[in-house]
Structure 1
Amino acid sequence: MDFHKAWEENEIKLSENEVIHVPQNDEYMFYQSVASGDIEAVQENIDSHRFLDSNGKGTLSKDPLQNLKYHFVVSVALITRICTEKGMEMERAFRLSDFYIQQLDDIRSIDELCELHARMVMDYTVRMTDLRQNANLSRTTNECLNYIYAHVIDRITIEDLADYLKTSTSHISRLFKEELGISPSDYIRNVKLDKAKNLLRFSDYPIIDISNYLSFSSQSHFSKLFFEETGMTPKKYRETYYGTTWK
């Protein structure tokens, strides 16, 4: 295939049809709304079906569904990077991106794709609402949070964080207290318990397997901490919330 010839023919076609891409500022403002946790602005974008608006969007495939899938990938990639810049743990952001892109394999209609896009952008937005304060965290604290998220299934200690960042445990403890209002061990515990909640809601793994997977010292210790956090046993929590909205 002569790509130079194909490119020139494409240029002529676009010029004749006066095809002009949407200004980057419009897209950038939307991505910033997501990254700033502006739920109202993002919901307005969803309700107006802006994702379906083809005006000013490049044609990436002749097939309408495939074209939107390509635009979906571009969108989630940019949102991921901007959210990371605004404080979301890098590992969390990229795992979230991978998760939503993988869902494209099962999409068979434009309506399904629009629903997935709405779910994706709102998922990032809601998470950023909770993480907005991280934009003001120190580099050391942000790197600690990223390490904790990436190693949530391991038994993590403050010594592990200090070794990873080549600093002292007292320095890390002070930063956590000053910037997050919580000790590193309590933060690690909370991240593990949040992960446990989602596993109880969206998986069929036995409770003892969840406890072991997240490296709690024992199932009884896991159940004790879980009850202190939620006021429910893991069994009761699963019975109450199984299959409900992703946290």
Structure 2
Amino acid sequence: MTKKKAQIGYEFLDASGNFIYEARETGKTHTPFASEILLFQSIKCGDLTGVKNALNLYRQSGLIIGHMSDNPSRKIHYWAVSTIAVAIHYAILGGLDESEAYQLSDFYIQKIDSLQTMEECIDYLCEKAIELVTKVKEKSIPQCYSPLINQCVHLIHIHLHSRLKIEDIAKSLHVSRDYLSQAFKKETGVPLHQYILDQKMEEAKRMLTRGMTINAVSYTLCFCNESHFIQLFKKKYHMTPAAYVTGTKSRL
């Protein structure tokens, strides 16, 4: 079987008790920080073009990776996991909800754990860099929001399957209901109760697309009943959930 060639060339540095001396002798050192920060900053900014450009630079120059283990398999996995950890942190700094970001991190690392070669790891990380920056671009919390509103949005995001009440959110954030409602409307331009409903509706669309029944979606998102959910869905999207599902299938 022919060994698969990775998208990006790579080289591991040899073990050395005097890294600086060896670097001066051989001229080889780690991949420049400037190259790494270009990739991670692009993820943070939701800059898909920037990520693609950064990956192209890696394709041209290759990777030089430090000696992290004498075990060939471990050094591959150590490098891949550390790369994922940094990328996820930059995605959170870019506004991706931390609960979703850490869930992605766990999923990525589980996959890396099953890969055997450096070539597989590099190709997988290139693919996930594109996926991650796309999620930051599409789902990030605007960084112009205050910490209070960022925390509020985060709480809503992770509790969409609950019967969200503004007073409960305000209590969790140690502010009054009125203060939170006023601050949210002032910063986002959207009433808090409307934002909660909008998020539930968008999640309902995703659930319906994944094949969940209308009744299951209504129950999971804690609407009063199925009829109420259908009424709200139709009011927002000008079609029933059933019509949305039919339309989605026809586009596939």
Q: Which amino acid aligns with 1:31?
A: F
Equivalent in the alignment of 1:151: 159
Q: Which structure: larger Rg?
A: 2
* Cα pair distance change 1:213/1:131, threshold 3 Å: closer
* In 2, Cα distance between equivalents of 1:109 and 1:76: 17
Question: Tell me, what secondary structure is at the counterpart of 1:56?
Answer: strand
Q: Which runs of 5+ in 1 are unaligned?
A: 1-8
Work out whether 1:234 is the aligned partner of 2:241: yes
Q: 1:43 corresponds to which letter in structure 2? A: K
Comparing 51-60 and 232-241, the one that deviates more: 51-60
Partner of 2:212: 205
Name the residue aligned to 2:29.
20
Q: Using the alignment, how far apart are the partners of 1:113 and 1:233 within structure 2?
A: 43
Matched, 1:225 2:209: no
The counterpart of 1:188, out of the listed 186, 193, 196, is: 196
User: Percent of pairs identical after alignment?
Assistant: 26
Residue in 2 that maps onto 1:5: none
Q: Residue 44 of structure 2 corresponds to which residue in structure 1?
A: 35
Contact 1:51–1:114 (CA<8 Å) still a contact in 2? no
Indicate how the Cα distance of structure 1 residues 89 and 55 shifts in structure 2: closer, same or farther if over 3 A, else same.
closer
Contact (CA 8 Å) 2:81, 2:112: kept in 1 or not?
no
Gaps of 5+ in 2: 1-13
**Aligned pairs for 1:1-247 within 5 A:** 10-12=15-17, 15=22, 19-46=28-55, 48=56, 50=58, 54-60=62-68, 68-104=76-112, 107=115, 113-114=121-122, 116-130=124-138, 134-202=142-210, 204-241=211-248
Aligned length: 234
Shift, 1:141, TM fit: 0.3
- Deviations, residues 187-217 of structure 1 (Å, cap 9, x unaligned): 1122222222222223x43221122112121
TM-score, normalised relative to structure 1: 0.78
CA RMSD of aligned residues (A): 3.3
- Residues 1:71 and 1:234: Cα distance change in structure 2 (over 3 Å): farther
In the TM superposition, residue 135 of structure 1 has moved relative to its aligned partner by 1.2
CA distance in 1, matches of 2:190, 2:233: 18
Residue-by-residue CA offset, 1:78-110 (whole Å, 9 max, x unaligned):
122122223332222212222333333565676
